[in-house]
Amino acid sequence: MNFDELALLTALNAPVGFEEPVLEYMAAELQVTCDHVEIDVRGNLFARQQRDPSKPLVMLMAHADEIGFLITSILPGGFLAFTRVGFPTDMVLAGQRVQVLTSKGVLQGTIGVKPGHVLRGNEARIVPPVDALYIDVGAASVEEAAAWGIEPGTPATFYGPLTQTAHPDRVMGKAIDNRIGCLSLLEIARRIHADESQQFNVVYVVTVEEEVGLRGAELAARHVNPDVVIAVDTVPAGGTPDLGSHELPWTIGAGPLLKVRETNGLSTHGPLRKLLREVAAANSIPYQLIVDTAGITDGSAAQQASGNIAAAVLGLARRYSHSAVEVLDLRDARRLVDLVCAVLPELKSREQLLRIQLPK
């Protein structure tokens, strides 16, 4: 799992509705390893490696979009009012550095914070509401900000370059959710492409608008009509001092996450979950079973596209979700890629996906 490529992917700014930079990168890379690449009007990207149509059609998916902001107006003095897109965490916003993505280029800015010297009493301990916050890009007036290309609807993202920690496998930065999923898809596609003996039937799908309600995934699954869906996404991790072991009993560095159920969402298809566990055990790949997380993934939406989809979610634990400094252990992603590449040869027929075998 290449740090430099993940750094490149996370540096691409692609908030919901503005996913083009990630889609363009993924399309260029997948064209190297896949037989056919296409995109729908919504923005979902499809890349096919179809070597044996008799095998079950497997759809591997990850979302391109990241959380962010939209400018709503320019305030007197050149400050920017904004709203959230995809639920950045309120408590981390004040004082955070951001990038405003204008048609004329990227502007560096910060979300303003009232000076500590003038805060009084409980005010110093209250998280300000989003509608009380503003972005400062250094403009001196409304006219100057407008001249720089800022207008209502201009998107913005956190500024958080991917950074290597002292631990050789642990990194932190913005948009790890879900650029690590995108990179995992690329690694799987490259590994399969390099081994011509592997005769699979795979479609890699990069979805849009996941962070605002899984909007691209169901459309994508209807387009592909797969037998199997495996969604790759990040999941909030436990293992930190502020979380009890009962709250999120999984952590970074202990292997990919195999979801049994998502809160108000997917229940992983039983035969597929069993197969993933058997393959992991046979290949000594550590993994973590998890039940109910703080959210749901594209897997839940894709599963509902038809009555003939066996769906599973493979997660990657990451700390400090929806902030500019998400923390990930790259070993988890490497093991996830190993697991997917090991399970694909074992998906040999559609019949093995049936939850019960009817008597003959």
Question: Which pLDDT tens digit goes with each residue over 59-92?
Answer: 999 999 999 999 999 999 999 999 999 989 888 9
Could you tell me how many residues make up the chain?
Answer: 360
Regarding whether 106 and 46 lie in a shared domain, the answer is: no
User: What count of other Cβ atoms lies within 10 Å of the Cβ of residue 108?
Assistant: 11
**pLDDT interval class at 357 (50, 70, 90):** confident
Asked if 232 and 184 touch (Cβ cutoff 8 Å), the reply is yes
Query: Tokens at residue 21, please?
Result: 């930079």
Regarding whether 62 and 79 lie in a shared domain, the answer is: no
105-109, 292-296, 342-346: which has the minimum mean pLDDT? Answer: 292-296
pLDDT digits (tens, 9 = 90+) for 3-32: 999 999 999 999 999 999 999 999 999 999
Q: Is 29 a catalytic residue?
A: no
pLDDT digits (tens, 9 = 90+) for 184-228: 999 999 999 998 877 889 999 999 998 887 788 999 999 999 999
Cα-atom radius of gyration of the chain, to the nearest Å?
A: 21
Regarding whether 190 and 54 lie in a shared domain, the answer is: yes
pLDDT digits (tens, 9 = 90+) for 305-333: 888 899 999 999 999 999 999 999 999 99
Residue 93: give its domain's CATH number: 2.40.30.40
Residue 211: give its domain's CATH number: 3.40.630.10
Collect all residues with Cβ–Cβ distance below 8 Å to 75 and sequence separation of at least 6. Answer: 81, 134, 142
Answer whether residue 209 is part of any domain: yes
Residue % of the chain over a pLDDT of 90: 73
- Whole-number Å distance between alpha carbons of 44 and 19: 10
Return the biggest CA–CA distance within the chain: 79
**pLDDT interval class at 124 (50, 70, 90):** low
Structural domain that includes position 346? 3-66+174-353
> Read out DSSP for 338-360?
HHHHHHGGG---SGGG-SSPPP-
Asked if 188 and 33 touch (Cβ cutoff 8 Å), the reply is no
- Whole-number Å distance between alpha carbons of 170 and 172: 7
Per the model's pLDDT, the better-predicted residue between 279 and 242 turns out to be: 279
CA distance between the termini of the chain: 47
Out of 210, 218, 262, 326, the active site residue is 210
Mean pLDDT for the stretch of residues 282-311: 88
Residue % of the chain over a pLDDT of 70: 96
Asked if 58 and 347 touch (Cβ cutoff 8 Å), the reply is yes
What is the residue-averaged pLDDT of the chain?
A: 92
pLDDT at 298: 82
Answer whether residue 163 is part of any domain: no
* Phi, psi for 154 (deg, rounded to 5): -65, 130
Cα atoms in the Cβ-side hemisphere of radius 13 Å centred on 251: 11
* Phi, psi for 224 (deg, rounded to 5): -80, -35
Query: Tokens at residue 355, please?
Result: 């939850």
pLDDT at 122: 67
Answer whether residue 145 is part of any domain: yes
CB-based burial, 172-182: b 16+ in 10 Å, e otherwise: bbbbbbbbbbb
Regarding whether 267 and 128 lie in a shared domain, the answer is: no
Q: Into how many domains does the chain fold?
A: 2
Cα–Cα separations (whole angstroms), residue 340 to 163, 185, 235, 278: 27, 10, 18, 12
Helix axes 3-11, 176-194, angle to 10 degrees: 130
Numbers of helices and strands, H then E, in the chain = 8, 17
Per the model's pLDDT, the better-predicted residue between 240 and 265 turns out to be: 240
Residue found under tokens 């093995």: 352
Regarding whether 184 and 278 lie in a shared domain, the answer is: yes
- Whole-number Å distance between alpha carbons of 52 and 57: 9
- Whole-number Å distance between alpha carbons of 142 and 144: 6
Answer whether residue 169 is part of any domain: no
109-118, 155-164, 220-229: which has the minimum mean pLDDT? Answer: 109-118
Among the three residues 90, 125, 158, which one is the final residue of a domain in this structure? 158
Regarding whether 49 and 74 lie in a shared domain, the answer is: no
